[in-house]
Amino acid sequence: MMTSLPNRTEMEQAYQKKDASYDGVFYLAVRTTGIFCRPSCTARKPLKENVEFYQSAKEAIFAGYRPCKRCSPMESIGKPPEWAQKLLQIIDAKPTERYSDYFLRTIGIDPARARRFFLKNYGMTFQAYCRGRRLGKSLEQIRLGTDLDDVALGYGYNSHSGFREAFVKTFGKAPGKSRNEDCIIASWIESPLGPLVTAATSEGICLLEFTDRRMLDAQFASLRKHFKKAIVPGENSHIKQMKLELQEYFEGKRRTFSVKLVEPGTPFQQKVWNELLKIPYGKTLSYEEMAKKVGSPKACRAVGTANGMNRIAIVVPCHRVVNKDGELGGYGGGLWRKKKLLELEKEFGLSDL
């Protein structure tokens, strides 16, 4: 997924107004202080000529800037901005409606901003998200046996040919051949460590990742390859259970997860991921210890690679694997999150549930 920064004038206006809806869209770095901030930072506004803009915190850091202590730009926002929450609620309430750019403007949302937000967090434009919601609902009705004519005309399509074309493009099969078809459902989950995206088939959870993970696009591509199914926004019983169990985990009320998982991989990857599930809550293992447990004591590097390819963060606890000297080592969601997860488990692991 490729995204681009808004134009400079738009970004200057955003940080001057301390507009939080741009948090995560770009970061501003101040040459005279050597720090970078969120657009919503409450610090004194810098002069325009002293500001540079970056698409990610990582880019700002590699350019030599350090994070602002006031707005903590390295920490994830944790939930969608207010305008995005409002929009998601509208779509969830009426997923079969068509939402035009004109509609967005009537509720005070810039269509370009909506497009960037959905691209960044869902890997699709706002309009693609809406189409996915409509098509996801249509597939649900088809599987329940609803007449195809009723589905086509009841889910925002003015003609059967338009519905068929959109359906085939998304699911790869014509509506009449999809009575038993499945798709991958994706949804957003808020957490104290930032937003996550989860995905599930009818068999179980197949993805749980922080939305700013650099390999997220590759993980989605991997899901499409393994399951040969389209990914559409929505929610099913597995995702509902995932949201509940994850909330209990962060509240210190859950140490093990019971939600069903579906995580295809190579035989070696499966061995590593199965061993990850055996690491007790609040405990850690080194890569060397993990290599021994999977029967390949010299394969520390391969274990690390398999660990990094785990698609189901937290539930399959790859954060519990550390370096031999006790240092944290790598983590796709960021070392600061790995540290926070281990601290959380240590804190709640000392007390009875």
Catalytic residue (choose from 41, 68, 300, 318): 318
Which tokens in the block code for residue 25?
């869209």
Q: What b/e sequence results for 50-63 when a residue is b if at least 16 CB atoms lie within 10 Å of its CB, and e otherwise?
A: ebebbeebebbbee
Q: Can you tell me the distance from the alpha carbon of 287 to that of 306, in angstroms, rounded to the nearest whole number? A: 11
Which tokens in the block code for residue 91?
């779509």
Which tokens in the block code for residue 210?
């922080």
Hey, what amino acid is at 199?
A: A
Give the number of residues written for the chain: 353
| Strands 184-189 and 231-233, bridge-based pairing | parallel
Active site residue 71: no
Looking at the DSSP bridge assignments, the partners of residue 207 are 199
Hey, what amino acid is at 24?
A: G
Q: Answer whether 284's CB lies under 8 Å from 352's CB.
A: no
Q: Can you tell me the distance from the alpha carbon of 128 to that of 130, in angstroms, rounded to the nearest whole number? A: 5
- Going by the DSSP 8-state scheme, the letter that residue 205 receives in this structure is E
Q: Which residue has the tokens 């068999």?
A: 203
Q: Find the largest Cα–Cα distance for the chain.
A: 65
Q: Answer whether 76's CB lies under 8 Å from 193's CB.
A: yes
Residues identified as active-site? 318
